[in-house]
Amino acid sequence: MPGTIRTTAGRGRRYDSVLDTIGDTPVIRINRIAPEHVSVYVKVEAFNPGASVKDRLAVNIIEAAEREGRLKPGQTVVEATSGNTGIGLAVVCAAKGYPLVVTMVETFSVERRRLMRLLGAKVVLTPKAEKAVGMYRKAVELAQEHGWFLARQFETKDNADIHEATTAREILADFAGERLDYIVTGYGTGGTVTGIGRVIRKARPETKIILTEPTNAALVQSGTPQPREADGAPAQGHPAWQPHPIQGWTPDFIPLVLQETLDKGFHDDLIPVTGPEGIGWSRRLAAEEGIFVGISAGATFAAAMRVAESAAPGSVILVMLPDTGERYLSTPLFEGIAEEMSEEERAIMRSTPGCQLG
């Protein structure tokens, strides 16, 4: 309340590892930019230690492989990633002592590769002409050549399993006994929507799950099946894919993990959005709500605002926000955000006599 000093009391526990802090991310009400006739909440995955939703799958991929003997002590882990999974794996591998090699298309933001290298990973860049399928094939090639453990985020059951066990359960607990009409999410691997879908379809069948993807890379909307290898890996890129600025969303193939959602009808509607829409809403979330997130989060929020337009009064909408905005500094999200003072800022500086720059 206004006039009351905020206090904290601690979490009531101490953590044995940074990995124990993954999950239990907060659901936060949107107060200033949501339409008045609905209630909009966001689940902010940037509160994970690696600052994205991918920390969840990273820890489960590694720990499931440890339990099942597929990953040996000291073995190198290798994975293809647009960045967030690589950062999540780098956090996990640093905490557990595994070497990590990441393959990544050269066009993804430099912040991502620098973060992974700071966390101890090696980053191998692949040509932009070969797209996501190229970085994927490079990871497979390296695993086969060197006997490394391939994380396989796009196919492994460990991906959606962790969202079934954690993300979905958190949502049920946070909305227990309360209305929840819509959950809105994008997809990269599809783990979030598939894991949530398994649980929400049974526990809250009245809740509609809305999927979103880039307008110019509308793979799901196209209805064109994804060619696959026998193990579920992409045999080639998807013909509906075009370059888009929503990093972390929609590689140039439909991942096997997402295919479960498509086959079992875990989503009720599909709303494509443009890159500029995502950038615009990400900026508004930061400037008007104080919620600092990336382009994919803004794009998901854009789809939620479309849902809100036709939603019945009193509807409750939950929006999944995948990551922080700090790994987008070199992307269009920060285009036009000046480093130097504006004329208005200089006028403020000059309004008092002390401590002025020339």
Q: For residue 310, is it within any domain?
A: yes
The stretch 237-258 carries a mean pLDDT of 94
Q: Are residues 228 and 181 in the same domain?
A: yes
CA atoms of 256 and 7, how far apart (whole Å): 46
* 289 & 212 share domain: yes
Q: Give dist(CA 254, CA 90) in Å, integer.
A: 25
Residue 93: which CATH number?
A: 3.40.50.1100
pLDDT tens-digit series, residues 170-189: 999 999 999 999 999 999 99
Residues 226 and 264 in one domain: yes
Task: Tell me, yes or no, whether 47 and 105 share the same domain.
Answer: no
Residue in 54, 131, 138, 208 annotated catalytic: 54
Single-letter amino acid code for the residue at 33:
I
Is residue 342 in a domain? no
Domain that holds residue 28: 18-51+167-334
The pTM (predicted TM-score) of the whole model is 0.94
Is there a catalytic annotation at residue 296? Answer: yes
Instruction: List strands edge to edge, sheet with 149-150.
Output: 122-126, 100-105, 77-80, 149-150
Question: Where residue 3 falls among pLDDT bands split at 50, 70, 90?
Answer: confident
Gyration radius of the chain's alpha carbons: 21
Regarding whether 129 and 68 lie in a shared domain, the answer is yes
Element (DSSP H or E) covering residue 183: strand 182-185
* Structural domains counted in the chain: 2
For the chain, how many residues are written?
A: 358
| pLDDT of res. 190 | 97
For residue range 127-170, list pLDDT tens digits in order. Answer: 999 998 999 999 999 999 999 999 999 999 999 999 999 999 99
